Amino acid sequence: MIKKVSVIGAGTMGNGIAHVFAQNEYDVTLIDISQEALDKAVATITKNLDRLITKEKISEETKLATLDRIATMTTIPEGVKDADLVVEAATENLDLKLKIFKQIDEAAPAKAILASNTSSISITQIASVTSRPEHVIGMHFMNPVPIMKLVEIIRGYSTSDKVTQTIMETSKSLSKVPVEVNDYPGFIANRILIPMINEAIYSLHEGVAGVSEIDTVMKLGMAHPMGPLQLADFIGLDVVLAICNVLHDGFGNPKYAPCPLLVNMVMAGKKGRKSGEGFYDYSTGSKDWIVAKTFC
């Protein structure tokens, strides 16, 4: 039975995952090498809980109890030593994830389930550096974690039925909707989403239409809540590029090759909302100044 959860990485996804587990009465240890990142994460969780109070979705008592269930640490061995479940939510970088999973495997209890929030990297490959591949699984939350209902549950080649069922039930206990998928590049969510975003960037690159026109077509014509270029900015253009590369390398199919415009923008430091500029400019809170045409 899962009671204690360790979350590695205090960024946007990590603090959201910690928030959701703690609000649903799990004891959470949030781990990051940066104390500043941990402090910022706790501040973000507090702010999001205050927003829920304002909307009358939770009480002040629930907020305080949620925060009381969250501890923070700057070292993995100490942070995972009592965990029933470890959820890794570090940067989407294979070498980093493999390094982290080696550390988790050495320090976490033998019974602990090791999960990755990766959006595209092979769970089987991640599991291969551990001594317990049957206990390794993908638990891909959607951003923003406290709001989005879907959790993509990815079975690696060796992931056991018992572990899969446990994580499916755990996800339901968070009021999420888990969907089980197999371990292929991009899984389901990003295998479908990222090529659509990449095609939208190609359409811009080739001068078929402008940024606002592309996004308007998809929002009003296809009932998408935001257009693909705005969504790319929200995800992070560096993350979109990384997933494109995973798909391209994994399948060896040229249809997954990232658009040169996307590559150039990332190299130029235009990573979307996180950097203040992508297909839209966010430096002054505006979403109206289109900057991508500069790179065409």
List of residues 6+ apart from 2 with CB closer than 8 A: 26, 84, 85, 113, 166, 170
Task: Round to whole Å and give the CA distance between 68 and 45.
Answer: 12
Is 190 tagged catalytic?
yes
Kindly name the residue from 119, 120, 198, 275 that is annotated as catalytic: 119
Adjacency order of strands within the sheet including 113-116: 70-73, 27-31, 4-8, 85-88, 113-116, 136-141, 150-155, 177-182
Task: Round to whole Å and give the CA distance between 159 and 8.
Answer: 21
Kindly name the residue from 88, 152, 171, 275 that is annotated as catalytic: 152
| Tokens found for residue 250 | 């994994």
Kindly name the residue from 117, 120, 135, 140 that is annotated as catalytic: 140
Task: Round to whole Å and give the CA distance between 62 and 8.
Answer: 24
Task: Round to whole Å and give the CA distance between 92 and 107.
Answer: 22
Kindly name the residue from 190, 198, 203, 275 that is annotated as catalytic: 190
Is 152 tagged catalytic?
yes
Is 19 tagged catalytic?
no
SS3 of 8, please?
A: strand
Is 134 tagged catalytic?
no
What sign does the dihedral 145-146-147-150 (CA atoms) show? Answer: positive
Would you say 135 and 112 are in contact if contact means Cβ atoms under 8 Å apart?
yes
Q: Which helix (H) or strand (E) holds 234?
A: helix 228-235
Q: How many CB atoms lie within 10 A of CB 212?
A: 16
**Which amino acid does the sequence have at 266?**
V
Residues designated catalytic: 119, 140, 152, 190
